[in-house]
Chains A and B, each alone.
Chain A
Amino acid sequence: MPRLVFLGKFRPLAPPGLDRVEPPSTVTTLNDLKLWVGGEAPALGAALADMPCKLAVNQQIVHDLSRHFHPDDEIAFMPPMSGG
């Protein structure tokens, strides 16, 4: 199963264990995964819908959410960054 990482505002909205839940077999793309995550955790889903979200796969930002993920991928959900 992929390992999910939720950062910033998304982190406290992800229920414990969501990072290690096996998505159903119909969830194959990053966009599928984003929608599935939102369905599993409605508060997180609302935040994901409310603000831009960047995804990183194995610590590389991916813009094409139609991309398929692999079971051993690490997939990070990142809200807008606010460093400096």
Chain B
Amino acid sequence: MDIRVTAAAFDPQAEAAGFAAGRHDMGALVSFTGLCRAASDGKAVAELFLDHYPGFTEREIARIAEDIAARCGCPDLLVIHRVGRVVPGEAIVLVAALSGHRADAFEAVRLLMDYLKTDAPLWKRETGPDGVRWIAPRAEDAARRAEAEEA
């Protein structure tokens, strides 16, 4: 389990490769990278800012990851989440899972993202042509989170 909350830009491909390096006991590496887009809801985005609660944010993400690791039988998880200023094209989040076979790793990554969207103590603010706008969780994210809870 490797959980990091960082204000520094990172290279998701290099991080995923490093996470899997030497793990010859594993048959599957699944990773997801969330990127900062240059437009949202038809409006330009100059930058994102992610507010967080130092200490609490890291612990809650670790708690979510440990719960999903147990549910999926997939203990080897990596989460890197940016905080602070993020510009279009940069990675916001990387989630990766290693497992013996692909099904567990796919499921762990999907569930982790569903939970991070609604349960990780992070708050996104977009800066665009009309000024700043705090992002509310999308209804579809809440619906996926509810489905994950029932699964």
CB distance from A48 to the nearest CB of B (A): 14
User: Would A76 and B137 count as touching, CB distance under 8 A?
Assistant: no
CB distance from A8 to the nearest CB of B (A): 3
Chain B residues within 8 Å of A, Cβ to Cβ? 34, 50-53, 55-56, 59, 81, 92-93, 113, 116-125, 134-137, 141
Residues of chain A within 8 A (CB-CB) of B59 are: 59
A42 at the interface (CB under 8 A from B): no
Residues of chain B within 8 A (CB-CB) of A80 are: 118, 136-137
A55 at the interface (CB under 8 A from B): no
CB distance from A82 to the nearest CB of B (A): 5
User: Would A81 and B120 count as touching, CB distance under 8 A?
Assistant: yes
Interface residues of A in 31-45 (CB under 8 A from B): none
Residues of chain B within 8 A (CB-CB) of A9 are: 123, 125, 134
User: Would A7 and B116 count as touching, CB distance under 8 A?
Assistant: no
A53 at the interface (CB under 8 A from B): no
Closest to A60 in B: B56
Given known pairs A7-B123, A83-B93, A84-B34, the reply for A56 and B56 (CB within 8 Å) is: yes
User: Would B55 and A82 count as touching, CB distance under 8 A?
Assistant: no
User: Would B119 and A81 count as touching, CB distance under 8 A?
Assistant: yes
User: Would A7 and B93 count as touching, CB distance under 8 A?
Assistant: no
Distance of A37 Cα from B86 Cα, bound (Å)? 31
Q: List 14 A-B contacts (CB under 8 A).
A: A7-B52, A56-B53, A59-B55, A59-B56, A76-B56, A78-B123, A80-B118, A81-B120, A81-B122, A81-B123, A82-B136, A83-B121, A83-B122, A84-B120
